[in-house]
Amino acid sequence: MSIKFGLIGGGVMGEALLSRLIVRGIYQPSEVIVSEPQPARQNFIQQQYDVAVTTDNILVFTRAKEVVFLAVKPQVFSAIAQELADVITAEDAPLIISILAGVPLSQLEAAFVQFPVIRAMPNTPATVGAGITAICLGAYTNSKHYQIAQQVFSAVGEVVEVPETLMDAVTGLSGSGPAYVALMIEALADGGVAAGLPRTIANQLALHTVLGTAKLLQETKIHPAELKDRVTSPGGTTIAGIAQLEKAAFRSALIEAVKSATQRSQELGK
């Protein structure tokens, strides 16, 4: 069976994607090759997923016929791009999908001249199949490449397409957002402890309140403001709590967090 999917970088996000693609039968283990420099990770990936493993990035590039997925640190991108330059021509080029933060399409397309390239920004919940990935398409992509990217990232959650100008905003919202939500869950649990709950119960209540609310909003498709209105009865406990959140500029703090993270992403991209 020919190799269809090549993965350069067997770290957390690369492995998360690989595991879901194999579990869902999108690629068979015999159709996958992974390049990973660390011997311990190599052995783990080879034993866990029964895929071909190498230290040779060029081998991944020359063997993978459909997709080469770049999941390395942005700092090593230029070294890898240099190594791969002139290895194969654009005629038989696989689709390049990059999840390298801050590396724009212009840089990717300068490294892989006339290759179909897609830039993507997944977030950490992708590691448990509950992520959301924003993708933007390069100049040489077509509908088939778009379908491949959709299929690959659907394995780890939802997919949205955005113009590249909005990638920094995606980073500020969904890329950095899991940290904001984690902070909120921690604070809710601390509030529960302050109100007298045991820590383990407070943690459980906080986590499932956030999880359940997100699921409720997703399944009912109602606006968050409508759900808030349904929960707040006149003179009740919830409106008392909301009044305190408004006093502390809770919503404004989240808006400013997204804006600040977006701005930092723009700075790092330069």
Same domain, 16 and 130: yes
**pLDDT tens for each residue of 21-70:** 999 999 999 999 999 999 999 999 999 999 999 999 889 988 888 999 99
Sheet with 117-121, edge to edge strand ranges: 52-54, 32-35, 5-8, 67-70, 95-98, 117-121, 131-137, 157-161
Q: Are residues 11 and 92 in the same domain?
A: yes
Burial of 255-267, coded b for 16+ CB within 10 Å and e otherwise, reads eebbeebbeebee
Pairwise CA distance, residues 197 & 183, whole Å: 19
> What is the CATH number for 46?
3.40.50.720
Q: What is the CATH number of the domain that holds 183?
A: 1.10.3730.10
Q: Do residues 157 and 242 lie in contact, with contact meaning Cβ atoms separated by under 8 Å?
A: no
Which of residues 167, 201, 230 is at a domain's end?
Answer: 167
Angle between helices 177-194 and 199-220 (to 10 degrees): 130
Q: Do both 192 and 229 map to the same domain? A: yes
- Give strand pairing partners of 53: 34
pLDDT (mean) for 230-235: 96
When divided into structural domains, the chain yields a total of 2
Last residue of a domain, one of 141, 167, 193: 167
- Indicate if 127 and 179 belong to the same structural domain: no
pLDDT tens digits for 63-108? Answer: 888 999 999 988 888 888 887 776 766 677 889 999 998 889 999 9
| 147 plus 215 within the same structural domain | no
Which whole number is the average pLDDT over 102-117? Answer: 90
**Predicted confidence (pLDDT) per residue in 118-156, tens digit:** 999 999 999 899 999 999 999 999 999 999 999 999 999
* 208 and 115 within one domain: no
The rounded distance, in Å, linking the Cα atoms of 174 and 119 is 15
Handedness of CA 25, 4, 80, 151 (dihedral sign): negative
Distance, first Cα to last Cα, the chain: 42
**Residue 74 in tokens:** 């942005």
Range of the domain at 246: 175-269
Q: In this predicted structure, what is the pLDDT of residue 90? A: 64
Shared-domain flag, residues 126 and 217: no
pLDDT cut 70: percent of the chain above it: 98
Q: Which residues contact 154 (CB under 8 A, 6 or more apart)?
A: none
What's the one-letter identity of residue 1? Answer: M
Taking only Cα atoms into account, the Rg of the chain, rounded to an integer number of angstroms, comes to 22
155 and 20 Cβ atoms separated by less than 8 Å? yes
> Between residues 112 and 240, which one has the greater pLDDT?
240
Last residue of a domain, one of 167, 192, 227: 167
pLDDT at 108: 92
Q: Please give the pLDDT value at position 113.
A: 85
202 and 149 share one domain: no
Pair 163, 192 in one domain: no
Do 25 and 94 reside in the same domain of the chain? yes
Tell whether 103 and 189 lie within a shared domain. no
Do both 82 and 190 map to the same domain? no
